[in-house]
Chains A and B, each alone.
Chain A
Amino acid sequence: MSEFYFIRNILLLPLLEGTLITIKLIALSIPLGLILGILLAVGRVYGNKLISSLCAAYVIFFRGTPLLVQLFILYYGLPSIGIFFSPLTAAIIGFILCSGAYHSEYIRGAIQSIKGGQMMAAEALGMSRVQAILYIILPQALRRAIPGCSNEIIYLVKYSSLAFMVTLIELTGAGKIIASRYFKYTEVFLVVGIIYLLMVSVITKFLNMLEKKLEIPGLE
């Protein structure tokens, strides 16, 4: 078997397929996780006592347990009470639920750092609570939360590899299969690692650009 054939057909093509699945995973979980994070943060700050403590309990559970345990509960645990997910669905749901909890803490901190006068001025103009949150509080809070949330997004890219533990053949899984078949762990996982580094770098660049673009004088 020629080295070139190995590299192209056996290594790169399956890894590329795995990468596409990884991209699918993160492309779905990043935005939905962010939305969940916003809802949790708003519920925690502006909800009544019940909603606020429910959101708090949610965050405590999902930040206090390993993502892998959460995935096991979703994929191996839930079928025993009649709920079945495909590996892809289980992974995406797990990533959304978990990253939402982390995002919410950054967003909550940002909301609480906004001066009370902003809400008061909005209400004085005749805005409802929801309008004030939507048009005044969140545009400021989300900007302030960008560094934290960016970090969380980068984490999510890397932790998407855990989907392999619930049998989804994404990038890491594809690598593991090739590596164990041809017993070339070092080479294969270095390539896999480089692909992750590339993804992380590209997304970091993109998030930095986004932060710059959304920058407003006086709002750090």
Chain B
Amino acid sequence: MQRDKDIVLEVEDIHKKYREEKILKGVSFKVKKGETKVIIGPSGTGKSTLLRCINQLTIPDRGRVWLEGEEVTHTKKSINQFRQKIGMVFQDFNLFDHLTALGNVEIGLIKVKGMDKNKARQKAMEELRQVGLENQAYLYPAQLSGGQKQRVSIARALAMDPKVILFDEPTSALDPELIGEVLEAIKNLAIQGMTMVLVTHEMGFARSVANEIIFIENGKILESGSPYKLFNNPKYERTRRFLKKITELYGESSEKR
């Protein structure tokens, strides 16, 4: 099948149910190189499940995923080959508690990529500098603030030189005053041309960074489009109401913080 060379990630018709409850009922989208997609929607509509289906941490019941034209689902290759190339940042950080910030960033390089230890250390330090944490390199997760933890986990994902990074509500577990620094780091990535898929409630941020916003409700994409279109001229009343509510709840702009 001939595919668009610009497309990094393609998700096709993903279905997933837990017990009898259908969480995802056929979700498809494509992400181009350098693009930032933001996925929004009410809680419990399977946004996190969708992200986990992409790197197969959750195995979808149906549907396919491609990374740079190679199929991730039903692959003969080890799934770990793909996971190295798909970064993931979790809501609750999931930093490895027994490793320093530096250790967290370099362990994937050493154990998964088989990189030489000195090289890995250099690269890890570079990534920490990128998120402004070179001075915290030797601290353990328990000694870092929430915002710092999330920045380390972004550096950990970045270090693997991923083709795309998935962010699963990266700021939801943070105190309000710490959200800004994390959004700042993500924004920098967008500017540098990293391909990203984000699940978030930060509408101001979504507005300023997203190339496209995807609105998911009841396990399906209800509507998608540019931020301008969704905020100013949505197809469905439902979208407008959700955006209004969420903007009131979380504030309009991250820059104000």
Contacts and interface: CB of A to CB of B under 8 A. Distances in A.
| Direct contact, A vs B (beta carbon within 8 Å) | yes
Interface of A: 115, 117-118, 120-128, 131, 135-136, 139-140, 143, 216-219
Interface residues of B, number: 31
A131 B94 contact: no
A115 B81 CA distance: 25
A159 B96 CA distance: 37
17 contacts: A118-B94, A118-B96, A122-B96, A123-B80, A124-B57, A124-B86, A125-B156, A125-B160, A126-B82, A126-B108, A127-B112, A128-B78, A131-B112, A135-B111, A216-B98, A218-B141, A218-B142
Contacts of B107: 125, 135-136
B85, B93, B111 interface centre (most CB from chain A within 10 Å): B111
B97 A121 contact: no
A135 B104 CA distance: 11
B84 A126 contact: yes
B86 to A, nearest CB: 8
B179 interface: no
A120 B95 CA distance: 10
Interface string B134-161: 0000001111000000000100100010
Interface of B: 55, 57, 78, 80-88, 90, 92-98, 107-108, 111-112, 140-143, 153, 156, 160
A120 B90 contact: yes
10 nearest CB pairs, A to B: A218-B142, A126-B84, A121-B94, A117-B94, A126-B83, A124-B88, A125-B108, A126-B80, A217-B142, A126-B112
Nearest to B143: A217
Given A117-B90, A126-B80, 18 more contacts: A117-B93, A118-B97, A121-B96, A122-B96, A123-B83, A124-B87, A124-B88, A125-B107, A125-B108, A125-B156, A126-B108, A127-B111, A127-B112, A136-B98, A140-B98, A216-B97, A217-B140, A218-B140
Contacts of B98: 136, 139-140, 143, 216, 219
A123 B55 CA distance: 9
B94 A125 contact: no
B108 A120 contact: no
Contacts of B153: 121
A125 B108 CA distance: 6
Nearest to B109: A125
B96 A219 contact: no
Nearest to B80: A126
A163 B186 CA distance: 63
A124 B143 CA distance: 24
Contacts of A218: 97, 140-143
A6 B109 CA distance: 65
Nearest to B112: A126
A127 B90 contact: no
A120 B94 contact: yes
Contacts of B140: 216-219
A121 B140 CA distance: 17
A180 B140 CA distance: 59
A81 to B, nearest CB: 44
A11 B115 CA distance: 60
Contacts of B96: 118, 121-122, 136, 140
Considering residues A118, A120, A121, which has the most beta carbons from chain B within 10 angstroms of its beta carbon?
Answer: A121
Contacts of B85: 126
A67 B84 CA distance: 48
Contacts of B141: 218
A82 B63 CA distance: 59
Nearest to A135: B111
Contact of A219 (B82, B94, B97, B112): B97
Contacts of B82: 126
Contact of B112 (A117, A118, A125): A125
